[in-house]
Structure 1
Amino acid sequence: MEVANGLSHIVYNALLEAGLSETLASYLNLLILLLSSVLFVWLLDFLIWKGLRWITIVVAKRSRTNFDNFLVLNRVPRYIAHIIPLVVLFELMPIAFVDFELGALIAKKVLKILIVILTIFTARAFLRTIRDYLKTKAQYKDKPIDSFIQVFMILAWIVGLFAIFAIITQLEIWKFFTALGAGSAIIMLIFKDSILGLVASIQVSINDMVRIGDWITFEKYGADGNIIEITLATVKVQNFDRTITTIPTYALISDSFKNWRGMQDSGGRRIKRAVIISQKSVRFLSSEEIDELKKIQLISRYLSTRSNEIDAHNAQHEIDKSLPINGRNMTNLGVFRKYVLTYLENQPVINKQMSLMVRQLDPTPQGIPLEIYAFVKDKRWENYEYIVSDIFDHLISALPYFKLEVYELPVAVNRQK
């Protein structure tokens, strides 16, 4: 301590000998010592940075991973290089402010705060490095890494703010937690969205509800597209019209949305679409009409087999066929339903290992819905829509061959009197 005081007063004593007053000599001594300390610390910072940079380059050349590249990109070595000079400058403050006790106290508090802030920035840069590195790994690309990074950063800032407040007030940290319990209601009100986002992020990750790249539909927020980012507070969805929709993360667990990942991971994309048949066009088929329909190759064998079964049944039970309603008969709608099913079974784009049926739904005032329930192998949206359109183009064109009609809403005709 005496050596330090002696060094601190070398300039001071020289100034007194030069004839300056004690007050002026003290302030000039402070200024010179402070500038010397800053210059020394700046030079030390420069040398440490150069040394770390050289070490980083050597390690990067020998390393097989790109983790060190992300360390440099996020300036982790640069932040680390600042820590030691700041600590040295902190130790030099008593020497520079040897005659100014209050100034030394303030300077040390400021430097302590700077060290805390620098530590937080270093931690943030390191966490960002981990984030960027993990995103290069296939198994982590679809994980909400940003949410976890933000959680750690919130905790780091909370601890840092407590430390800064303790430095300023010179109170112990544990006393803050006592006050924290009293003010918990206010804190929860202020950080409500962050707390909800934190809980939601954990649940979304644990339950694997969504991943980056998932196609979701969220009607409440007008979202229909792929997730491009998951953070603590929001989920960004790029819609198919290239717009961006931002959804609160907690909405994923409080509201209902549709995730299409199951379809994308499965063996096909579902067709669930119907053609509405006019009820007036449904009727029994005559023998002549059945013979005519036998020319359709897809159902020729079915019609022959079915006709023989029906004729044998009617003959065995001596059915009076002077009226078509008696006994067993085929209808044009039933034959068309069989045609549609056979047509789909012969389409290579349809996944035969998944559900495949053509069903008649409950009649409506508009007609009888004939629904196709099947799965297309190609799940890409553009190709899927093309395949579905092609199928229904064919079926609608085939209806007249079965003497069936598609229901169309009557158009009122204005008649001039």
Structure 2
Amino acid sequence: MEILDKSLQSDVYNTFLDFVLTLGLSTYNTYMVTSVLLSLVLLLVLYAVDYVLRKVLLLVVTDFISRSKTQLDDLLIKNKVLQFISHLVPIIVAKAAVPLIFMGFPNWIIYSIKIVDIALILTVCLLLINILKAFRDLLKTKSAFADKPLDSYLQVASIILYSIGGILTYSIITGESPKSFLVSLGAASAILMLVFKDSILGFVASIQVSSNDMVRVGDWIEMSKYGADGNVIQINLSTVKVQNFDKTITTIPTYALISDSFKNYRGMQNAGGRRIKRSINLKMSSIRFLEEHEIEELKRIDLLKPYIEQRSQEIKAFNDKNSFDSTMKVNGRRMTNIGLFREYIKAYTYQNPHIHKDYHFIVRQMQPTEHGLPIELFMFTNTTVWVEFEGIVGDIFDHLFAVVPFFKLEIFELPASDDIRGLVNHIEIKKGES
């Protein structure tokens, strides 16, 4: 290796060199030992400088920030921006000291400076990324950005910064210009697209999700294909995290929100009303006309009394006008137990203070099935809170199930033990009679 002229060496280097010469080593070994000793000393000095800077910066700046009302400086400290700034000083010092330490070995200087430059590039990339993280955290505190996929944009910016850092590192190591690397990169674009397929799809999906306002952080979504039913807690470049109501976490690929269907309950939450769509199945054999004394008995129900009185007058006027044979119940018009039950459900639910009066309010018969005749309640509560909603629905149906027998109706059930015992008793009675 080429040995530089001694007159060009620094005083520090000469001091160490004179010390090593007393060891009686050869000229080459003397220069090598001197450089190694100076390298060790430099590492200790750089560590000390880095440690002192970090401590001093944190003490001084933290004290200043504690008196500041700005939130950004707190986030800069939280994301360790000051630590990375303090790392830059030792790297700059190292770059200036390397030519002095390896004065006797020009090739070592070249390689060492390359290593220092790579460390500088990496530190700057991490510094910029952590600054972006601080701005991301700041934007999350703003109502306008609280539901935006900021993590996705941060990941895209991180990929770009790492890519630039990688290109510069490649240029430093090979000595070629970044342009030549980009040219060769174009030839490998197909492979890169395959490797980063999920990231590319996720990035495009994040933009579409954000621009079309399909999903926000905090939205309640349901995606049965992935077993997701809960609130969105994070949207990033490749995944969407959903915290289900059982506190489990479901991770969904971001691009799945574009390619697959899902249900977003934000509209329901913004509307301020949640839909009730639930049925009571009645046994069809229990449906019949009501006798006069039964109608009079039901008239004692305060909610039904006005309807029964008005309806009785209408029916009587219609039947008298058309002179129907009243001995046959099929003739003319009569009240049925299921008709009064439907009217009772309407009156009872409408006077409920928890039912929204401005949205659809329907009590209707559905298509009869092998499970009886469904009477469906289609209405909205005036709250969207899940626990409150379930309480309201439970109270309504508790009451309706309890009043069904007052209308001489029966709830449809598959044969139970009581039904079987009743059938057995009936058969035994018939056998006894025969």
Would you call these one fold, judging by a TM-score over 0.5?
A: yes
Distance 1:304 1:413, change over 3 A: closer
SS state of the match for residue 238, structure 1? strand
1:5 aligns with 2:23: no
Cα offset, 1:32, TM superposition: 4.1
In structure 2, the partner of 1:102 is 107
Partners of 1:177 and 1:49 in 2: how far apart? 37
The one of 275, 279, 285 equivalent to 1:274 is 279
User: What displacement does 1:353 show?
Assistant: 1.6
Percentage of identical aligned residues: 44
Q: Following the alignment from structure 2 to structure 1, what is the Cα–Cα distance between the partners of residues 144 and 20?
A: 71
1:377 corresponds to 2:376: no
Residues 200 and 249 in structure 1, CA contact (< 8 A), matched pair in contact too: yes
Report the residue type matching 2:368 in the other structure.
Answer: P
Shift of 1:118: 0.7
Coordinate RMSD, CA, aligned: 2.7
Deviates more, 1:277-286 or 1:366-375: 277-286
- Is the CA contact 2:21–2:30 (under 8 Å) kept in the aligned structure 1? no
Q: CA deviation at 1:381?
A: 1.9
2:365 pairs, out of 357, 360, 367, with 360
Q: CA offsets per residue over residues 56-86 of structure 1, 9 Å max, x none?
A: 2354144212321221222211111221331
| Equivalent of 2:396 in 369, 391, 394 | 391
Are the aligned partners of 1:76 and 1:125 in contact in 2 as well (CA < 8 Å)? yes
State the secondary structure of the residue aligned to 1:347: coil
For residues 373-404 of structure 1, give each alpha carbon's deviation from its aligned partner in whole angstroms, at most 9, with x where no partner exists: 11112322222212212211211221222221
CA distance in 1, matches of 2:82, 2:291: 89
Q: Any idea what the Cα deviations from partners look like across 1:353-378, whole Å, max 9, x if unmatched?
A: 22111011112122211100111123
Judging changes above 3 Å, is the alpha-carbon distance between structure 1 residues 122 and 324 closer, same or farther for their aligned structure 2 residues?
Answer: same
* Residues 276 and 366 in structure 1, CA contact (< 8 A), matched pair in contact too: yes
**How far did 1:53 drift?**
3.5
Contact 1:15–1:25, Cα closer than 8 Å, also in 2: no
Larger mean Cα displacement after TM superposition, 398-407 or 88-97: 88-97
1:242 is the counterpart of 2:247: yes
Mapped pair 1:256 → 2:261:
yes
Would you say the 8 A contact 1:11–1:29 is kept in 2?
no
Query: Within 1, Cα distance between the matches of 2:207 and 2:6?
Result: 57
Equivalent AA in structure 2 for residue 176 of structure 1: F
**Paired residues of 2:217 and 2:232 also in contact (CA < 8 A):** yes
Is 1:65 the counterpart of 2:70? The answer is yes
Aligned with 1:326: secondary structure?
A: coil
Does 2:238 match 1:233?
yes
Secondary structure of the residue aligned to 2:243 is strand
**Within 1, Cα distance between the matches of 2:254 and 2:89?**
40
CA contact (8 A) 2:239 2:254 kept: yes
Q: Give the distance between the partners of 2:16 and 2:392, measured in 1 at CA.
A: 91
- 1: CA distance, partners of 2:274 / 2:209: 25
Match of 1:87 among 88, 92, 95: 92
Where does the alignment leave 5 or more consecutive residues of structure 2 unmatched?
Answer: 429-434
Query: Unaligned regions of 5+ residues in structure 1, if any?
Result: none
Q: Is the 8 A contact 1:12 1:26 kept in 2?
A: no
Give the TM-score of the pair, scaled to structure 2: 0.88
The secondary structure found in structure 1 opposite 2:99 is helix
Taking the aligned partners of 1:119 and 1:321, their CA distance within structure 2 comes to: 97
Residue number in structure 1 paired with 2:312: 307
Q: Hey, what's the Cα distance between the residues in 2 that align with 1:208 and 1:3?
A: 70
Matching of residue 208 in structure 1 with residue 220 in structure 2: no
Match of 1:338 among 343, 346, 359: 343
Return 138-147 or 197-206, whichever deviates more.
Answer: 138-147
Contact 2:237 2:254 in 1 (8 A): yes
Measured in 2, the distance between the counterparts of 1:320 and 1:3 equals 134
Kindly state the Cα deviation for residue 291 of structure 1 after the two structures are TM-superposed: 2.3
Q: Which of 110, 118, 129 is the aligned partner of 1:113?
A: 118
Partners in 1 of 2:300 and 2:41 — Cα distance? Answer: 104
Aligned-pair distance for 1:300? 0.6
Deviation at 1:50, TM superposition (A): 5.2
**Cα offset for 1:110?**
0.7
- For 2:310, what is the secondary structure of its paired residue? helix
Residues 89 and 142 (structure 1 numbering): CA distance in 2 closer, same or farther, change over 3 Å? Answer: same
> Aligned residue for 1:146?
151
Match of 1:172 among 174, 177, 183: 177
Give 3-state SS (helix, strand or coil) of 2:375's partner: strand
Report the counterpart of residue 432 of structure 2 in structure 1: none
Select 1:265's aligned residue among 257, 267, 270.
270
Match in the other structure for 1:325:
330
Deviation of 1:16 (Å): 8.9
Normalising by structure 1, we get a TM-score of 0.91
CA distance in 2, matches of 1:219, 1:16: 75
Deviates more, 1:305-314 or 1:283-292: 283-292
Contact conserved, 2:20 with 2:33, CA < 8 A, in 1? no
Query: In 2, Cα distance between the equivalents of 1:290 and 1:4?
Result: 122
Distance in structure 2 (CA, Å) of the matches to 1:254 and 1:353: 35
Contact 2:20 2:34 in 1 (8 A): no
Post-superposition offset of 1:317: 2.4
Distance, in Å, in 2 between the alignment partners of 1:55 and 1:291 is: 88
The 1:10–1:144 alpha-carbon spacing in structure 2 relative to 1, beyond 3 Å, is same
Decide which moves more: 81-90 or 25-34: 25-34
Question: 1:44 deviation in Å?
Answer: 4.5
Please give the secondary structure, in 1, of the residue aligned with 2:280: strand
State the 1:307 CA deviation: 1.2
